[in-house]
Amino acid sequence: MNYKPINFRQKFGLFAEQWQPKVVAEMNDYQFKVVKLQGDFIWHDHKDTDETFIVIEGRLRIDFRDGAVHLSSGEMFVVPKGVEHKPCAEREVKLLLIEPRGVPNTGAAGGDRTAPSDAWI
């Protein structure tokens, strides 16, 4: 067994591209993914699962059809399944995402912003 900790800062240092989640760990059939976001994403939802956002560095806004949540470093939010949302960040934000293995970033919306859902780093 490998007793090495997973260090978020070290993982974020390994890549520059935005909007491309990278798996860093698994817990049962769930995955922990680091991702850098900047700008606006697309409206989408995940029909079958909640999705957890934890801000490691920077600020994130998640828009909903009837409001928004603002997250800073050391804050988290769970987007319930089936709820349309759109992440936005004025400046680059570094996030930890937690969701079941195989969930695509664009959910049910699909399209050209869809990233590989099982890229490890």
Our CB check for a second copy shows the closer of 51 and 87 to be 51
DSSP state of 82: T
d(CA 16, CA 69): 26
- Taking residue 9's Cβ as centre, other Cβ atoms within 10 Å add up to 10
Our CB check for a second copy shows the closer of 64 and 120 to be 64
Our CB check for a second copy shows the closer of 91 and 112 to be 91
Q: Which residues bind a second copy (CB under 8 A)?
A: 1, 3-9, 25-28, 30, 32, 49-52, 56, 64, 66-72, 74-78, 80-81, 83, 98-100
d(CA 54, CA 85): 15
